[in-house]
Amino acid sequence: MTDFHVYDTTLRDGAQQEGLNLSVPDKLAIAGYLDQLGFGFVEGGWPGANPKDTEFFRRAATELRLQHAVLAAFGSTRRAGTEAAQDPQVLALVESGAPVVTLVAKSSPRHVVEALHTTLEENLAMVRDTVSFLVAQGRRVFVDAEHFFDSYVQDPAYPVQVVQEAFAAGAEVVALCDTNGGMLPPQVFRAVTELRAVTDGILGAHCHNDTGCAVANTLAAVDAGATHVQGTVNGYGERTGNADLVTVVANLQLKQGREVVDPAALAQALHLSHAVSEVTNIPPVGRQPYVGASAFAHKAGLHASALKVHPDLYQHTDPALVGNSMRTLVSDMAGRASIELKATELGYDLTHDRELAARTVKRVKDLEQDGWTFDAADASFELLLREEVTGEPLQYFATESWRIITDSGDGREALSEATVKLRAAGRRVVATGEGNGPVNALDHALREALADAYPELAGFELTDFRVRILDASHGTDATTRVLIETSDESSSWQTVGVAPNIVHASWTALVDSFSYGLLKRGVQPRP
């Protein structure tokens, strides 16, 4: 919608998240993903503040081909006691070539006096002069009124004056910032409602998540008359992050009927959210609204029974609208309906075989009683289900034995050596592998043993390894559960193993991992 702005600040405000460090190529790649999401504005950074952001805008001029978004440069009002036309950081905003410039302006008297060390009158002049100068340079100017809500709660007179000065000088938008993230929705709604009554300019919301209300506060501002929303993909940002813009847009579009982005773009939300996660190297949050892996995952047997009747009985919206899908989790809470739904997901129809479904439910519950878990190990469950359906386990090789030797000494790192003996593709194989730990050594040895029989294993990579002690009161004699995540060039899968011996549990999960990967590739066992 041209009269409603979706403004992304992942590349600037989101990049302030602890542990997140983006290179210029990273920022260019993410900008492309944000454009595909259909956002109207992408804030690229603060040119002149650091070489990386200056370089980004230089390269963006020739390398970015944005189809939907307009590039924005972020900066500050001029320094106290200078002229905007003489301020190097203001001139850097012009030199960036960005058609939109977003200025952060102080709207809190305390921050003006204690942080800027100037007067309230001079701060108003800084806003007025910088906005009017940039407008004269042909730029669309947005103003972020920093600490607006905190200041408004204490005394609304000055923050309102800052907003009015910005509009009078030619600002197109003034975004009201909950910079400290301490507001609650009623406070935001009241402030925007009262401000809306004294100005007809475009008001926006820029909310942080320190109270867990960033998305709710953004929606409250929209309800009160704001038509410009700012946030970051996946809620990246300093401290607890910014408003998650994917959640904001999905709520506006799917719950309030505002078509703020193309529905086809929203249908790519999961894919593009995860694509950004790949670039930032921050794993996706499974419980993230709409696009998290668990957003439409159902575990309770009661839920599954209802979902068989109709999915929307326990789902607030169609997951396909954001590119997600429904999942059924298998656990000790599962009933026959859960097993049937999960089997359908995996391509097995159990609806007409109640005995098979009941047998599978019992086996799952018995295994979970012993410490197994399948809600986080879909691949192991599919192998179990396939065994129940076919009446025999999927066996790509026959294990004769395996053993581990770990050698260390003073001043030397421990090195593990694994020996695996097995039969595959009609012959007996003995292979040895070394690693920095017993599981790593087993992985190498098993790959070596199966390399000729199953060369497809070369495309598999172990990407995660998690250990849980199930009965810690037994100390070192406790039962151990191991979860392994494996991936190839197109997907990933999780397998589980349980045993008193951690290496034995790891071996079980590792064998399942390789077996499932070969099954998904359509590889037939070579006895």
State the Cα–Cα distance between residues 146 and 354, nearest whole angstrom: 62
Given this model, what pLDDT does residue 330 score?
A: 56
Asked if residue 527 belongs to a domain, the reply is no
Percent of the chain scoring above 90 in pLDDT: 62
Q: Strand ranges (DSSP E) for 259-379? A: 297-298, 327-328
pLDDT of 316 > 60? The answer is yes
- Mean pLDDT, residues 201-212: 97
Asked if residue 433 belongs to a domain, the reply is yes
Q: What is the number of domains present in the chain?
A: 3
- Mean pLDDT, residues 373-384: 80
pLDDT of 234 > 70? The answer is yes
Same domain, residue pair 114 and 252: yes
User: Between these two residues, 1 and 280, which has the higher pLDDT value?
Assistant: 280
- Mean pLDDT, residues 112-141: 96
Given this model, what pLDDT does residue 302 score?
A: 47
Given this model, what pLDDT does residue 298 score?
A: 62
Quickly state the pLDDT bin for 336 (edges 50, 70, 90): low
Same domain, residue pair 266 and 311: no
Quickly state the pLDDT bin for 319 (edges 50, 70, 90): confident
Same domain, residue pair 271 and 318: no
Which CATH number belongs to the domain containing residue 188 in this structure? 3.20.20.70
Q: At a CB cut-off of 8 Å and minimum separation 6, what does 425 contact?
A: 452, 453, 526, 527
- Mean pLDDT, residues 308-327: 72
State the Cα–Cα distance between residues 417 and 285, nearest whole angstrom: 36
Quickly state the pLDDT bin for 369 (edges 50, 70, 90): confident
Asked if residue 380 belongs to a domain, the reply is no
Given this model, what pLDDT does residue 218 score?
A: 98
DSSP code, position 77: P
pLDDT of 488 > 90? The answer is no
Of 253, 280, 307, the domain-final residue: 280
Give the residue among 173, 164, 169 at the shortest CA–CA distance from 143.
173
Model pLDDT for residues 239-290, shown as the tens digit of each residue: 999 999 999 999 999 999 998 999 999 998 988 888 898 888 887 787 899 8
Same domain, residue pair 340 and 441: no
DSSP code, position 247: H
pLDDT of 361 > 90? The answer is no
Same domain, residue pair 49 and 198: yes
Same domain, residue pair 106 and 56: yes
Q: Which residue has the tokens 């300019």?
A: 201
Of 369, 385, 414, the domain-final residue: 369
User: Between these two residues, 308 and 437, which has the higher pLDDT value?
Assistant: 437
Given this model, what pLDDT does residue 348 score?
A: 76
State the Cα–Cα distance between residues 411 and 141, nearest whole angstrom: 62
Q: Specify the range with the lowest mean pLDDT, choosing from 93-107, 153-167, 343-357.
A: 343-357
Asked if residue 391 belongs to a domain, the reply is no
- Mean pLDDT, residues 236-240: 95
Same domain, residue pair 212 and 263: yes
Q: Specify the range with the lowest mean pLDDT, choosing from 43-47, 372-376, 433-437.
A: 372-376
pLDDT of 343 > 80? The answer is no
Given this model, what pLDDT does residue 332 score?
A: 47
Same domain, residue pair 207 and 306: no
CA angle 267, 271, 276 (to 5 degrees): 125
Same domain, residue pair 406 and 488: yes
Which CATH number belongs to the domain containing residue 514 in this structure? 3.30.160.270
Same domain, residue pair 32 and 179: yes
State the Cα–Cα distance between residues 429 and 448, nearest whole angstrom: 9
- With contact defined as beta carbons under 8 Å apart, do 8 and 245 qualify? yes
Across the chain, mean pLDDT equals 88
Same domain, residue pair 140 and 233: yes
Quickly state the pLDDT bin for 372 (edges 50, 70, 90): confident
- Mean pLDDT, residues 103-120: 94
State the Cα–Cα distance between residues 470 and 171, nearest whole angstrom: 60
Asked if residue 505 belongs to a domain, the reply is yes
Quickly state the pLDDT bin for 479 (edges 50, 70, 90): confident
Same domain, residue pair 357 and 308: yes
Given this model, what pLDDT does residue 326 score?
A: 66
Given this model, what pLDDT does residue 206 score?
A: 98
Of 280, 305, 338, the domain-final residue: 280
Asked if residue 392 belongs to a domain, the reply is no
Asked if residue 130 belongs to a domain, the reply is yes
Identify the domain containing residue 420 by its residue range: 398-520
Helix-strand-coil percent breakdown of the chain, rounded to 5?
45, 20, 35
